Amino acid sequence: MYLFLVILLSLALIIIAIIKFEIHPFLALFVVAIIYGLISGMPAELIIQSISEGFGGVLGRIGLLILFGVIIGTFLEKTGGAFVIAQKVLSWIGKKAVMLGMMVTGAILSIPVFGDSAFIMMNPINKSLSFKGKLPFAATTVALTLGITATHSLVPPTPGPIAAAGILGADLGMIIFWGAIISVVALVPCYFFCKHIVSKIPLTPDFAEMEAVGEKKKYPSIGKSFMPIFIPLGLIVLASIAAYPTRPFGENLFTSVILFVGNPIIALLLGVFLSFTLPEKLDRKLLSSTGWFGEALLIAAPVILITGAGGVFGKMLENSGVADHVSATLMVGNYSLLLPFFMGFALKSAQGSSTVALVTTASIMVPLMGTLGLDSESMRVMTVLATGAGAIAVSHANDSFFWAMTQLSGMNIKQGYQSHSIGTVILSFTAMGLILIIAGFMR
């Protein structure tokens, strides 16, 4: 009971430090991890060991994955490749189905591109199509934000899911596969929520900037734009299938090649090189410390450091022996997945960042996986996805994405809560319901 109280106190300190005192999540996680070690009575040598192993172990597995994912997203955004993807998806779905088009486009763009950036990029297109189609702007806007939110928390190479997968040792290919399916299905009730509920919210934006949409001189082709995203994802999923114990591709050179190029580091590195083909002319300045490459490093650095600090917190919990104090009889079966879900839900609601919620929850879950019956390969995947489902909601006034959405769309705070915030709750619980169903068949 004492250890649980210390854990709750530690989580409270992290949340208060981030929200009230606006301390960077890395510093909050790192310092509180050390405080936890001291209060729980760990020897000084073990605290130092936990810092070293926790930080180095996690970043050794996923630091490069986060960096490569951010580089791909940066090049897609800067070259207009993401815009090309958006336009193509909308042309496939049709301008009459703008709401569905926005939701699908947001879901695709949010896989490589950060949520805020994806929304900023899509907002003028959304305004234009809503105006031309005489559609309720609030509904198309929230359809876009929920599409972005779904894959942001459930589908790598978005940093949060990658970090959680690395911390928990889950198969990245299976997370991509199941995360994509769950996010798509979970968006179905969100679509009807937007169509029948959000559409009633009166919102008349300023359409002045609409004509500027699509005026950029030259974009990369649709084939080039898709390659940095889908080739790495396809290779990772293919390698996961090849690695099955039944060896569906057999034991041969093809399998060996697939397992190598489908390794997440190699696959995303290939995606990085493919993203270098997006600029009309690859100037070496783009790859300098002041170019797009350097900008990507600056974007990735905080996420990597937060992930490393989360790894320290997790290793500190593990080495303190907390798993020995969890009763296996209380949390066995599929419902043990509710623990990471509600923990991610609470942390997201309290401090606003899905990535911090994913990293912190995954770090806490590490020493509990065996006790909760979640240490099989399939349950590790489901645990990451349950954490991601929890980290979807509630998006409200402490979330930067909430403010980007309300300010750029012209919504007031009340309208933001009535539409986007409630939508994230629907998305979160629907995703978790699907995860419990899938986990039931996996056991």
Question: Mind listing the pLDDT tens digit for each residue in 332-377?
Answer: 445 689 999 998 998 888 777 888 889 888 988 888 888 888 889 9
From residue 1, give the alpha-carbon distance in Å to each of 6, 8, 39, 363: 9, 11, 14, 20
> Given this model, what pLDDT does residue 313 score?
85
Q: In the predicted model, what is the mean pLDDT of the chain? A: 85
What is the rounded distance in angstroms from the CA atom of residue 83 to the CA atom of residue 76?
8
d(CA 82, CA 281): 17
Instruction: Tell me the pTM.
Output: 0.81
Task: Give the integer Cα–Cα distance in Å for 172 and 62.
Answer: 11
Q: Which residues contact 11 (CB under 8 A, 6 or more apart)?
A: 347, 360
Structure tokens at 364: 């806490």
Highest mean pLDDT (candidates 215-229, 311-325, 327-341, 417-431): 417-431
Q: Give the pLDDT score at 381.
A: 95
Whether the CA torsion 165, 315, 67, 394 is positive or negative: it is positive
Structure-block tokens of residue 375: 């240490």
pLDDT digits (tens, 9 = 90+) for 208-258: 444 444 455 578 898 998 898 889 888 988 888 888 777 888 888 989 999
Contact 148, 216 (CB under 8 A): no
> What DSSP line would sit under 219-240, residue for residue?
---HHHHHHHHHHHHHHHHHHH
